[in-house]
Homo-oligomer: A and B are copies of this chain.
Amino acid sequence: MDGARAAARRCTEELARGELRGPLHGVPFGAKDIFYSAGLRTEAGSRVLAGFVPAYDATAVARLKAAGAILLGKLHTTEFATFDPAPTHNPWNLEHTPGGSSSGSAAAVGARMAAAALGSQTAGSTLRPASYCGVAALKPTYGRVSAYGVIPVAWTQDHVGFMARSVEDLALLLQVTAGHDPADPNSSTERVPDYTGALTRRRAPRLGVLHQGFLDRADAEVARVTNDALARLERSGASVEAVKLPAHFETVYAACWTTVLVEAAAVHADLYRRHADLYRPRIREMVELGTLVPGDLYLRALRVRGRVRREVLPLLERVDALVTPTTPTPAPAGLAATGDPVFQAPWTALGLPTVTVPCGHSGSGLPLGLQLIARPFAEASLLATAGWCEDVLGRAPAPAL
């Protein structure tokens, strides 16, 4: 915090002299504790990394700082960004989970402790907690934002994610962090368009609603709030049609988990051999299961992922975004688990960009979200669509703390 205070003082002085570091001059943000931060402990919620202080910033952290943003501090994560919960509570109801694995990121933005936060998503770790905590979030296309300096979960599905109070802020965060990074072998060389400019071109979008496997799988309350939100969007001019997924779409779940288990086992093999006793039960189970999956099954999982992706891409050409509830239920009660990533996992496995915007509340006052899914590298149009929806649905109010 002392470093952040000093940085804030410098920003104030610069501003007084008419100097601006960049579009995020002085904006306070937090980073999930799997992002390397020079001089600050980075422990990934695990006793295995207790006291580890990296010498450099993750690329996403470095680019936010270069744009003028101030790193307030590190935010709690489930252990190694998987399933053993963080000590974080949901700011809307302290008896409920904030979600995971980016628990601290969602809670910090939801509770207005930071204007923005970096999270990550390997299955459902950014959009799910964001929705549970009533904030907007973006998971860009795979490779769009460098994952260099982010402790990996499963590198073919690891995405940097953003949380903020508005779609406009998400666009700003993406604008300053997107772009090729030679330090990340999976970083894309795709051109970076004008994301913030695209927001000024909001127009009533064509939305494709997914019923089977999504709206049909949500609880009654989520289904009601989602349908209400869709009706409001339609009344405001959006075209809303039902879209049917390919017959074998559900195979992507098995492909996603096989991939995550095997890659997580490979990531942790050395540390786990030396420090198995320090791992908590769920990450432990993942690593041990992962070492049992034969290599050819892993390769077949990658092929299934590729095949489902080829089948899904044409559906995305016909609409501005596919739409689902962001989660099948509001944030579950209790802190022993972090909720179900089932509505995010397919899009993460397919590497597609997704956004969640708040869309209402459950009867008990917990926030709910609408998930929008778009074509690869179509973040500009996705954010414009999300911004239009946000205009109709309204931003979530702050929780009463």
Contacts and interface: CB of A to CB of B under 8 A. Distances in A.
Interface of A: 258, 261-263, 265-266, 269, 290-300, 303
Contact of A300 (B258, B261, B269, B294): B269
A269 B262 CA distance: 19
**What are the 7 A-B residue pairs with the smallest beta carbon separation, nearest first?**
A262-B295, A295-B298, A266-B299, A265-B296, A266-B296, A293-B295, A295-B295
B296 A294 contact: no
Nearest to A268: B296
29 contacts: A258-B295, A261-B295, A262-B296, A262-B299, A263-B296, A263-B299, A265-B294, A265-B295, A265-B296, A266-B295, A266-B299, A266-B303, A269-B296, A269-B300, A290-B294, A290-B295, A290-B296, A291-B294, A291-B296, A292-B294, A293-B294, A293-B295, A293-B296, A294-B294, A295-B295, A295-B297, A295-B298, A298-B298, A298-B299
Given A269-B296, A269-B300, 19 more contacts: A258-B295, A261-B295, A262-B294, A262-B295, A262-B299, A263-B296, A263-B299, A265-B294, A265-B295, A266-B296, A266-B299, A290-B295, A290-B296, A291-B294, A291-B296, A292-B294, A293-B294, A294-B295, A298-B298
Determine which residue in A261, A290, A295 has the highest number of CB atoms from chain B within 10 A of its CB, and name it. Answer: A295
A297 B297 CA distance: 13
Q: How many copies does the complex hold?
A: 2
Nearest to A298: B295
A290 B295 CA distance: 7
A292 B292 CA distance: 9
A300 B272 CA distance: 14
A59 to B, nearest CB: 20
A291 B295 CA distance: 7
Contacts of A291: 294, 296
A293 B295 CA distance: 6
Contacts of A300: 266, 269
Contacts of A266: 295-296, 299-300, 303
Nearest to A258: B295
A148 to B, nearest CB: 16
A261 B294 CA distance: 11
A230 to B, nearest CB: 38
Contacts of A269: 296, 300
A62 to B, nearest CB: 23
A261 B266 CA distance: 18
A217 to B, nearest CB: 29
Nearest to A299: B266
Contacts of A292: 294
Nearest to A306: B185
A261 B298 CA distance: 13
A298 B259 CA distance: 12
Contacts of A297: 295
Nearest to A300: B266
A332 to B, nearest CB: 31
